Amino acid sequence: MSKLIRISLERRGVSCIAELLEKEAPRTTAAVWDALPLGGDTQHAKYARNEVYTIVPRFGPTIGHENTTVTPIPGDVCYFDFSGGVLDAAFKDDQGIDQESGGIDLAIFYGRNNLLINGDVGWVPGNVFATIVENLPAMAEACHDVWRSGSVGERLTYARVDG
């Protein structure tokens, strides 16, 4: 039986369900599943286009690249491991991220034509560890509202759907 997670934009009251890709990304899915629930302040991507994410403190083992992409499609759920030196200092201060250890970025992609490149560091491949299987249209509308109206006060959370 597939493992499912609920991804929510809490203030907007919208959730979607994603299926973990255990065969394609076994190390990433195991680490995320074991660490759930996870969540934090929501951010909308500046470079990648149609991405909403949160950065959480490090958890689990170092995973490395697994089932990576630099062109995520709508419904992809990705894991990024950012060391302390990769993230901008002002962003780390704003988000309360430890300067040395960095953090884990958990992101959802809600629209087409995404490209994971950052002007400071170049290509930023993400581990695709889940795919949204339920309620993507409503989540996409809410994510677009994060971009248009702002992320202040919004939390993006990830939790197990126990069956």
Question: pLDDT > 90: what percent of the chain?
Answer: 77
Cα separation of 67 and 82, whole Å?
17
Q: What are the residues whose beta carbons fall under 8 Å from the beta carbon of 75, sequence distance 6 or more?
A: 18, 108, 109, 110, 131, 132, 133, 136
pLDDT tens across 19-64, in order?
999 999 999 999 999 999 999 999 999 888 999 999 998 898 999 9
Token readout for 42 is 């929501």
Burial call 38-71: b when 16+ CB within 10 Å, e when fewer: bbbbbbbbeebbbbbbbbbebeeeebeebbbeee
The whole-model pTM stands at 0.92
Q: How confident is the model at residue 93 (pLDDT cuts 50, 70, 90)?
A: low
pLDDT of residue 105: 94
Residue 144 dihedral angles phi and psi, to the nearest 5°: -60, -35
Quote the number of domains for the chain.
1
Domain CATH number, residue 54:
2.40.100.20
- The range of the structural domain enclosing residue 48 comes to 4-161
* pLDDT score of 119 more than 90: no
